[in-house]
C-alpha cells in the first residue's frame, strides 16, 4: 500500500476534516513562497517589510512591495491543489480550511468554509478609522494609497508582532478540537501561532497528513508525510479517496 493509499484510507474514515495551507500551495500558480531558495525573503528582509514598524517608517516601500506582489497574484490562477481542496470541501459536511495565504486563490477556487488567518492583500484598512474595503487596482494609481478621510490605507494582513483576529483564532481552535484529520499543505511551519496547530491537533488525538516538497518541523509529528508538489499530490489523493469503496461522501 502506498502512502497516498494510506492517507486516502484515513480520509475515507474521516468525519471532520481540517486543512491548513501555506505559501507552497500557490507556488505552482507562479506565486513566490517566503522562505527557501526562490522565496520572497531571499531578496527582502521580513523585518523591513512585514512589520507595523516598517510601515510606520516607510509606507511607500512597503506598498511598493505589495503592489509588486499584487501584480503577480492578479495574473495567477488557482492550480490543481486549490481545486482539489475545493473538492474536499464538497465531500465533507464538516470541513474547514485555514489558510495563511493572503492571495485569495482559495476563494477564487470556490472554497467558502475558510479562514484567511493572516488576512487578504486585496483588502485595505484605514489607519485612522479602522474600516476595511477591497482595493483591486493593479498597479495602484498612487502609492501609498489613502482613505477618503486622508489617512493612510494599509494592507489588511497580519504582520509580525501583530495579533491574529480573536474570531479567526476561535474558529481555528474549535476546528482543531473537532477534527479527526488534519491535512497540512505547503507551509514551512516556521511562523506561529499556525506552526503549532499540527501538534495541537495531534495532542488532541487527531491524525496529521503533511504535504510538502521537503521535510519540515511538522514532518516529525505527521502520521503520514507525502513529499511532492501539492498540485500533483492533492488531486491524486482526492482521486484515491473517491475510489475508496468504504468512503461515502457526507
Ligand atoms: C511546497 C511547494 C509545492 C514550496 N507544494 N509545498 C512562538 C515562538 C516564537 C515566535 C513567536 C511565537 N509566537 C509568535 C511569535 C512571533 C511571530 C513568529 O512566528 N515568529 C517566527 C518567525 C519565529 N509571530 C507573530 O508575530 C504572529 N503574531 C502573533 O503571534 O501575535 C502574538 C505574539 C506576537 C509576538 C510574540 C508573541 C506573540 C503574526 C505572524 C504573521 C505572519 N505574517 C506573514 C506575512 C503576511 C502578510 C503578507 O503575506 O504580506 O505571513 S509572514 C509569512 O509567513 C506569511 C505567511 O503566511 C507565513 C508562513 O509562511 P509559509 O506559508 O509557511 O511559507 P514559507 O515560504 O515559509 O514555506 C513554504 C513551504 O511550501 C515550504 O515548506 C516549501 O517546501 C513548500 N513548498 N512549493 C508543496 N509546490
- Residue spans per domain, the chain: 3-30+78-118+164-242, 36-75+123-157
The predicted structure's pLDDT at residue 131: 98
> Any idea which residue has 513562497 for its cell?
33
Res. 127: pLDDT tops 90: yes
pLDDT at 64: 94
Whole-number Å distance, alpha carbon 63 to ligand 1 midpoint, is 20
Distance 104 CA to ligand 1 centre (A): 17
Residue pair 123/165 in contact by the 8 Å Cβ criterion? no
What's the mean pLDDT when you consider all of the chain? 96
Closest CA to 222 of 1, 20, 23, 79: 20
Residue 10 near residue 181 (C-beta atoms within 8 A): yes
Residue 88's alpha-carbon distances to 33, 59, 62, 111, 220, in angstroms, are 24, 39, 36, 9, 25
Q: Which three cell numbers stand for residue 17?
A: 476534516
Rounded-to-integer distance, Cα 40 and Cα 73, Å: 13
CA separation for the pair 33, 165 (Å, rounded) = 23
pLDDT band at 202 (very low <50, low <70, confident <90, very high): very high
> Is 82 a known active-site residue?
no
Give residues (CB < 6 A) around ligand 1. 22-24, 27-28, 33-36, 39, 50, 100, 102, 118, 157-164, 186-188, 190-193, 211-214, 216, 229-231
H helix runs in 154-203, sequence order: 166-178, 197-203
What would the pLDDT profile of 138-171 be if each residue is shown by its tens digit?
Answer: 999 999 999 999 999 999 999 999 999 999 999 9
Cα separation of 79 and 241, whole Å?
A: 19
Tens of pLDDT along 55-107?
999 999 999 999 999 999 999 999 999 999 999 999 999 999 999 999 999 99
Q: What is the CA radius of gyration of the chain?
A: 19
| Grid cell for residue 84 | 482539489
Nearest CA to ligand 1 atom 70: 187
Query: Distance (Å, rounded) from C-alpha 60 to C-alpha 188?
Result: 29
Fold agreement between 3-30+78-118+164-242 and 36-75+123-157:
no
Mean pLDDT of 193-206: 98
The number of the ligand 1 atom at minimal distance from the alpha carbon of 163 is: 31
Measured in Å, residue 191 CA sits from the centre of ligand 1 at 3
Q: Could you read off the pLDDT of 9-58 as tens digits, one per residue?
A: 999 999 999 999 999 999 999 999 998 777 777 777 777 789 999 999 99
With 0-12 / 13-18 / 19 or more C-beta atoms within 10 angstroms meaning exposed / middle / buried, residue 230 is: buried
Do the strands 132-134 and 16-21 form a parallel or antiparallel pair, or are they unpaired?
Answer: unpaired
- Please tell me the predicted confidence (pLDDT) of residue 38: 73
Nearest to 73 by CA among 120, 112, 119: 120
Ligand 1 center–CA 22 separation, angstroms:
8
Res 249 pLDDT > 80:
no
Which of 33, 32, 11, 14 is CA-nearest to residue 216?
A: 33
For domain 3-30+78-118+164-242, the CATH superfamily is TPP-binding domain (3.40.50.1220)
Number of neighbours of residue 53 by Cβ within 10 angstroms:
12
CATH superfamily, domain at 36-75+123-157: SIR2/SIRT2 'Small Domain' (3.30.1600.10)
Q: What is the SS3 assignment for 49?
A: helix
pLDDT of residue 239: 98
Q: Is 247 in contact with 95 (CB distance < 8 Å)? A: no
- What is the model's pLDDT at position 45? 77
pTM of the model: 0.97
The reported pLDDT for the residue numbered 237 is: 98
- Maximum CA pair distance of the chain? 62
Residue nearest (by alpha carbon) to ligand 1 atom 66: 34
Amino acid at each position: 500500500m502506498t502512502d497516498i493509499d494510506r492517507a486516502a484510507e484515513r480520509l475515507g474514515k474521516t468525519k471532520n476534516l481540517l486543512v491548513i495551507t501555506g505559501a507552497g500551495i500557490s507556488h505552482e500558480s507562479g506565486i513566490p513562497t517566503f522562505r527557501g531558495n526562490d522565496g520572497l525573503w531571499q531578496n527582502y528582509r521580513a523585518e523591513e517589510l512585514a512589520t507595523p514598524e516598517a510601515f510606520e517608517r516607510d509606507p511607500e516601500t512597503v506598498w511598493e512591495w505589495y503592489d509588486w506582489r499584487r501584480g503577480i497574484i492578479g495574473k495567477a490562477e488557482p492550480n490543481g491543489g486549490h481545486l482539489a481542496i475545493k473538492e474536499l470541501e464538497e465531500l465533507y459536511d464538516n470541513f474547514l480550511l485555514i489558510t495563511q495565504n493572503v492571495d485569495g486563490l482559495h476563494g477564487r477556487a470556490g472554497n467558502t468554509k475558510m479562514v484567511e488567518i493572516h488576512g487578504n492583500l486585496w483588502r485595505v484598512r484605514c489607519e485612522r478609522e479602522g474600516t476595511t474595503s477591497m482595493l483591486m487596482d493593479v498597479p495602484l494609481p498612487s502609492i501609498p494609497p489613502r482613505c477618503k478621510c486622508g489617512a493612510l490605507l494599509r494592507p489588511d494582513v497580519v504582520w509580525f508582532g501583530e495579533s491574529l483576529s480573536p474570531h479567526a483564532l476561535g474558529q481555528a481552535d474549535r476546528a482543531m478540537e473537532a477534527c479527526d484529520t488534519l491535512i497540512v499543505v505547503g507551509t514551512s511551519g516556521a511562523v506561529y501561532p499556525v506552526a503549532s496547530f499540527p501538534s495541537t491537533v495531534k495532542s488532541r488525538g487527531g491524525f496529521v497528513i503533511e504535504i510538502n516538497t521537503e521535510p519540515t518541523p511538522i514532518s516529525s509529528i505527521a502520521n503520514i508525510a507525502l513529499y511532492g508538489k501539492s498540485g500533483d499530490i492533492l488531486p491524486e489523493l482526492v482521486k484515491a479517496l473517491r475510489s475508496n469503496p468504504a468512503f461515502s461522501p457526507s
